[in-house]
A and B are shown apart, each in its own frame.
Chain A
Amino acid sequence: MSVNKKLLSGNEAIALGAYHAGIKIAAAYPGTPSTEILENLSQFKDIYAEWSTNEKVAMEVGVGASYAGARTLVAMKHVGLNVAADPFMAVAITGVNAGLVVVTADDPGALSSQNEQDNRHFAKLAKIPMLEPSDSQEAYEMMITAFDISEQFDTPVLFRTTTRVSHSKAVVELGDKKETPGVKGVFKHNFQKYIMLPANARFRRPLVEERVKNLASYSETSSFNRIFKGDDKLGIISSGMAYQYAREVFPGASFLKLGFTYPMPENLIRKFALKVKKLVVIEELDPFIEEYVRSLCIEVTGKEFISIIGELTQDIIKKGSYSIGILAENEVKKTEYTAPKLPGRLPLLCPGCPHTGTFYTLSNLGQRSVLPGEKPREPKLIITGDIGCYTLGALPPLSAIDTCGCMGASIGNAIGMQKAGVDEKLIAVIGDSTFLHSGITGLIDAVYNKAKITLIILDNKTTAMTGHQEHPGTGKTAQGEETVAVSLESIVRAIGVKNIQLVSAWDIKALKNSVKTSIDSGELSVIIVSGACAVDLRRGVDPGIIDVNKCTACGLCLALGCPAIQKDGDMIIIDGSLCVGDNCRLCRQICPNKAISPDGARQSERISEEL
């Protein structure tokens, strides 16, 4: 047996499929659950892979590369496609030169996103073909086909995956890499195709409709749309991960599995519907397939028994199926067992996180933190937040963020509130990567329109929440090359902000002073707080130790929300294995009794005992 088998996640399979399809260019902005696609592609040194400043730029880079004859992959999470929608809709009209595949990694259940949205609608909106894998093997095979479809029909292809497909591992049988000559990019000038002046856009409009018709007939014969014959009493149309669940719940039923889900294969669906007595659609999120089937005047049910909200599970399918009588009662597990109620593990800022000091400061000035035994106070300040690890600053005990919507929104939100005339001082908080992604235009608006807000840029020198990707401010490219580190301070100055302060993330006094002077200045002000992300720091080296003779257990240090500071009965202790020691020192600064110190001698003693 010389079959080349590998255990790959959906994202790894997508990356390898694209590589084997002969891509030359890949562009993306990190976002769960899509991040690993470009991370994997950046390992291949014979292609070009970049972390783009944001998804819109990634899409534009991809479009340019495709126009110039390079097969290109662009990847993003579902909300990234909202950011990239403008160039995405434009390339849907111009079409491509070399294959262009756009991956949208959707997040049913909003496991790590601000919302839940079904991006299959984008294929219909843009009138372009869509592929939907249901496991890693399909992700690999479909990616290779996607590039052929893109070139054959002169169209970008939307490749829609979900968290469960992207992040599950499965066995993949691999083929060989398509040998593509290392041709130089060539752009063939074509006035009518590439310049969407209104007249040209109108010229191409009917071509788009023609393309949808041709794609619809292709969809009829695509090997990704397949009937699996079973009992004709029940026919199930399904796609993506929902198909895998449905196969297990209904091992005997007939299935029409759709993998090429836009445009849908009308005749195949009609044929399947005629063969089965009852037809149902089992799909995750919106009734995308169901509504199409119903538009063919075929009797069908779906969202009547499968929730439109959240990630699907087999239990949800079973319970729903029982409710409409397509599953026997004995197939549905009686929940005689109720899971025990146990303390939860809320996500937290890490021990040694450079954001902790800022949020502790905001929490105090904004009257958010509540000491044990004290009553909550009326909150002061309005703190608009953004997307990143620091969104966790919204959770207790810090509770120092009041809004969070989408990338870059903190600044515009603060401007809007100030212009609406609120009495409270306004502070916008944004991370370095997010500021570069889409905060800059907000800040320009603030300068131009004389907004009196304070912007705090939390500069931890990485894209932390998605797992430490490089960005324009880090000085390194996705493929590890040294490059110019774009300076946040220079950008802020160049935009025209006069009141700028640079503060260390580890200096509580300086943080407090800078925030106070900024909000009291009555003008637009920016504070750049610098401190490297703590995720990779070594822990347990000379951690802080609490002197029991000095500690009065006042609980002030617990207000930091540091996971290393814990309550043990009536005492407060520092978990030495979590503390980052001298890299942080925040708790030592706020202890009113000076009870916290690094105790090198005792610590070395403990380590030598362990060894």
Chain B
Amino acid sequence: MKNCNLIIAGVGGQGVILAGNVIGEAAMSSGYDIKKTDTIGMAQRGGNVISHLRIAQKIYSPIIVEGEADIVMSFEKMEAARCSNFLKSDGIVILNNRAIPPLSVSRGVEHYPTDEEIISILKQKADKIYFVEGTKKAEELGNARTLNIFMLGCLSCFLDIEDSVWRECIIKSLPSRIVGVNIAAFEQGIEAIKI
């Protein structure tokens, strides 16, 4: 797609903000107008993070209105469900198969939704759901923190941005010693969607 309203969701520390910044750079390099805003709250202290990214020829508001997101990409399972209100009726969900239970769950006060519950929540809105093994693949690569770049690989299959631009922007955004493993994660992300 050329124009895109994208929501990226996750939990503090998962690399949501960096992923959004790379997408922003890639979109700008490709000649788009782009605005991005994060609702972080106190994410570093275990809260959830939602990044809004809007890519088009001209953008006014950085915030995506409920029901206007083309894609929700979530680094954590339950957080995808939390963002379902943003989805368009024919929206796409890219979902990393990883649960990070909040303290209320780990203290036994609340219940973490099952995969079936999460999917049924998303199905009310989403047209397509891509369940990807980002955390697993990143750990297999020997660096769990490459999850965010793996997810960028998945996303790149849906945006009208050249592969070379993605790679350039990833290289620019990361310290050189971890570029190799992140490019590998990016490629695995693409593979996860294409098969």
A residues neighboring B (CB under 8 Å)? 5, 7, 111-112, 135, 164, 167-171, 241, 244-245, 247-248, 313-315, 333, 335, 337, 339-340, 342-350, 372, 389, 392, 397, 467, 535, 558, 561, 563, 565-568, 577, 610-611
Assuming A7-B28, A610-B139, is B102 touching A169 (CB within 8 A)?
no
**A5 to B42 CA separation, bound complex (whole angstroms):** 31
* Chain B 42-64 residues near chain A, CB threshold 8 A: 42, 44-48, 59-63
Contact A347 B41 (CB under 8 A): yes
Set of chain A residues within 8 Å of B45, measured between Cβ atoms: 347-350, 389, 392
Partner of A347, one of B36, B42, B107: B42
Number of interface residues of B (CB under 8 A): 51
Q: Which residue of A lies closest to B20 (CB)?
A: A169
Are B84 and A339 within 8 A (Cβ)?
yes
Q: Which residue on chain A has the smallest CB distance to residue B122? A: A340
| Partner among A164, A342, A566 whose Cβ is within 8 Å of the Cβ of B37 | A164
Closest approach, in angstroms, between the C-beta of B150 and any C-beta of chain A?
A: 17
Residues of B within 8 A of A347 (CB): 41-42, 45-47
Given contacts A315-B65, A372-B108, A565-B106, 7 further A-B contacts (CB under 8 A): A170-B34, A337-B67, A340-B121, A342-B78, A344-B104, A348-B103, A535-B44
Instruction: Please report which residues of chain B, range 28-43, place their CB below 8 angstroms from some CB of chain A when the two chains form the complex.
Output: 28, 33-42
**Minimal beta-carbon separation of A210 from chain B (angstroms):** 38
| Contact status A247-B60, CB under 8 Å | yes
Asked if B71 is at the interface of the complex by the 8 Å CB criterion, the answer is: no
A-binding residues in B (CB < 8 A): 11, 21, 24-25, 28, 33-42, 44-48, 59-63, 65-67, 78, 81-82, 84-85, 101-108, 110-113, 121, 124-125, 139, 142, 144
| 5 smallest beta-carbon distances between A and B, as pairs | A566-B106, A347-B42, A343-B110, A168-B37, A168-B62
Report yes or no: B61 in contact with A345, Cβ–Cβ below 8 A.
Answer: no
Other-chain contact of A171, B33, B37, B41, B65 (Cβ < 8 Å): B33
Give the complex CA separation of A397 and B113 in angstroms: 23
Q: Are B104 and A5 in contact (CB under 8 A)?
A: no
- Distance to closest chain B CB from A214 (angstroms): 33
- Let me know if B81 and A340 touch, CB within 8 A: yes
Assuming the contacts A563-B103, A567-B108, asked whether A171 and B28 have C-beta atoms less than 8 A apart, the reply is: yes
Chain A nearest CB from B105 CB (Å) reads: 5
Q: Give the distance to chain A from B16, nearest Cβ to Cβ, in Å.
A: 13
Give the distance to chain B from A103, nearest Cβ to Cβ, in Å.
19
Chain A residues within 8 Å of B103, by CB: 346, 348, 561, 563, 566
A6: min CB distance to chain B, Å? 8
Identify A339's interface contact among B33, B85, B101, B142, CB under 8 A: B85
Whole-angstrom distance between the alpha carbons of A565 and B24 in the complex?
A: 37
- A312's closest neighbor in chain B, by CB? B63
Instruction: Give bound CA distance, A335 to B67, whole Å.
Output: 9
Docked complex Cα distance between A610 and B144 (Å): 11
Asked if B35 contacts A345 (CB within 8 A), the reply is no
Give the residues in chain B near A169, CB-CB below 8 Å: 21, 24, 34-37, 62
In the complex, the answer to whether A346 meets B104 with C-beta atoms within 8 Å is yes
A164 to B37, CA, bound (A): 7
Which residues from A are CB-within-8-Å of B34? 7, 169-171
Assess the A343–B28 pair: CB atoms within 8 A: no
* Complex interface: chain A residues within 8 A of B39 (CB): 111
**Which residues of A have CB within 8 Å of B111?**
343
- Give the most central of B45, B82, B105, B139: most A CB within 10 Å: B45
Can you give 15 contacting A-B residue pairs, CB < 8 Å? A7-B24, A164-B62, A164-B63, A167-B38, A169-B24, A245-B61, A340-B121, A343-B110, A344-B102, A347-B42, A348-B103, A389-B45, A561-B103, A563-B103, A563-B106
B28 and A167 form a contact (CB under 8 A):
no
Q: For the complex formed, measure the closest distance between the CB of B115 and the CB atoms of chain A, giving whole angstroms.
A: 14
Let me know if A167 and B37 touch, CB within 8 A.
yes
Rounded to whole angstroms, the CA-CA distance of A566 and B111 in the bound complex is: 13
Inter-subunit contact B63/A314 (CB<8 Å): yes
Which of A314, A340, A350, A610 has the most chain B CB atoms inside 10 A of its CB?
Answer: A340
Expressed in whole angstroms, the minimum distance between the Cβ of B77 and any Cβ of chain A is: 11
Quick check: B85 and A558 within 8 Å, CB to CB? no
Contact across chains for A313 and B65 when beta carbons are under 8 A apart: yes
How far apart are A543's CB and chain B's nearest CB, in angstroms? 15
- Write out the residue numbers on chain B whose beta carbons fall within 8 Å of the beta carbon of A241: 61
Cα(A347)–Cα(B102), bound, Å: 10
Q: Would B61 and A244 count as touching, CB distance under 8 A?
A: yes
Complex Cα distance A404/B38, Å?
A: 27
* Residues of the A chain whose Cβ atoms lie less than 8 Å from the Cβ of B48: 345
Answer whether A135 and B35 are a contact pair too, CB < 8 Å, given A164-B63, A339-B84, A345-B46.
Answer: yes
Give chain B residues whose Cβ lies under 8 Å from the Cβ of A342: 78, 81-82, 113
User: Contact at A348–B46, with CB atoms within 8 Å?
Assistant: yes
CB neighbours of B82 from chain A (8 A) = 339-340, 342
B84 / chain A contacts, CB cutoff of 8 Å = 337, 339-340
Given A345-B102, A372-B108, verify A314-B61 contact (CB < 8 Å): yes
Contact, CB under 8 Å: B142 / A611: yes
Contacts of B113 in A (CB 8 A): 340, 342
B62's contact among A170, A247, A348, A565, by CB below 8 Å, is which?
A: A170
Cα–Cα, bound, A565→B46 (Å): 13
Residue in A169, A244, A350 whose Cβ sees the most chain B Cβ within 10 Å: A169
- Nearest B residue to A561 via CB reads B103
Q: Which residues of B contact A339 (CB under 8 A)?
A: 82, 84-85
Which residue of chain A has the shortest Cβ distance to B121 in the bound complex?
A340
**Closest A-chain residue to B53, C-beta based?**
A169
A247 to chain B: closest CB distance in Å?
A: 4
Q: How far, in whole Å, are A128 and B61 apart by their CA atoms in the complex?
A: 29
